[in-house]
Amino acid sequence: MANAVEVKDDTFATEIEEQAGLSVVDFWATWCAPCRMIAPIVEQLAADYAGKVKVAKLDVDNNQRTAAKFNVRSIPTILFFKDGKLVDQVVGAVPRPALEAKFKEHA
């Protein structure tokens, strides 16, 4: 997780909701196989869009308050925030082109 930052219930507002520009948050868990499948894609996109998009990861097992706030019921769920406001989401393990299209759409 060299390019993505870890966010928690206590840091989510500061790290994501109070940020200008595009922030992308990957809601995941260690036991989730589809989450592990897309993790390298998320990490690569974080590297490719460094300086343009803030990419973060939130472990839903340890941060249930934030997951509940955004009604995350299945993982992986990737939420897109523009200037702190939720603007889009992707649910499930999707191929890189689908995820990158969302990055391009909102960046």
CA distance 101 to 107: 10
Query: 3-state secondary structure string, the chain?
Result: CCCCEECCCCCHHHHHHCCCCEEEEEEECCCCHHHHHHHHHHHHHHHHCCCCEEEEEEECCCCHHHHHHCCCCCCCEEEEEECCEEEEEEECCCCHHHHHHHHHHHC
Is 101 part of the annotated catalytic residue set? Answer: no
Q: Which of 7, 41, 9, 39 is nearest to 23 (CA)?
A: 7
Pick the catalytic residue from 4, 24, 35, 75. Answer: 35
Catalytic residue among 16, 32, 67, 90: 32
Determine whether 60 is an active site residue: no
Q: Which residues are catalytic?
A: 32, 35
